[in-house]
Amino acid sequence: MNSTHLTVIRARPGCAERLGANLHGLLAPARAQAGCLGFEIRQAADDPQLWWLQGTWRSPVAMQRYFAAPWLQQVLDQALADGLIRNLECTAQAA
């Protein structure tokens, strides 16, 4: 059973480019993660402060491994410590 997640991250004003650079560092490790069927990062065309991370995983367990990955925690922790993130919302579902 595949699982998907959509994470919506809003950058603090003036921080969209720096946040985007940090988030793009997630592409290679996420796509290399066991069970990853697809992973994309997009910036909203009409709102440059808004970023979407979307992943599809082979199973709920594979998706949970992604959420627990140290490299994901490091990127998000650093973005928070640098004051780049205004808010973050994540939804996940099994398909």
- pTM for the model stands at 0.90
**pLDDT tens digits, residue range 32-86?**
999 999 999 999 999 999 999 999 999 999 999 999 999 999 999 999 999 999 9
Please give the pLDDT value at position 73. Answer: 94
Structural domain for 66, as ranges: 3-94
In 1-95, where do the E strands start and end?
3-11, 36-43, 50-57, 85-94
Residue 61's contacts (CB-CB under 8 Å, 6 or more residues apart) are 35
Closest CA to 76 of 53, 48, 57: 53
Question: What pLDDT, on a 0 to 100 scale, did the predictor assign at position 95?
Answer: 67
Confidence of residue 94 (pLDDT cuts 50, 70, 90): confident
Give the tens place of pLDDT for each residue, 10-36: 999 999 999 999 999 999 999 999 999
Give how many domains the chain has, as a whole number.
1
Contact between 30 and 66 under an 8 Å Cβ cutoff? The reply is yes
Record the tokens describing residue 51, joined without a space: 């970023």
Q: Which residues pair with 43 in a beta bridge?
A: 51
Q: What is the CATH number of the domain that holds 82?
A: 3.30.70.100
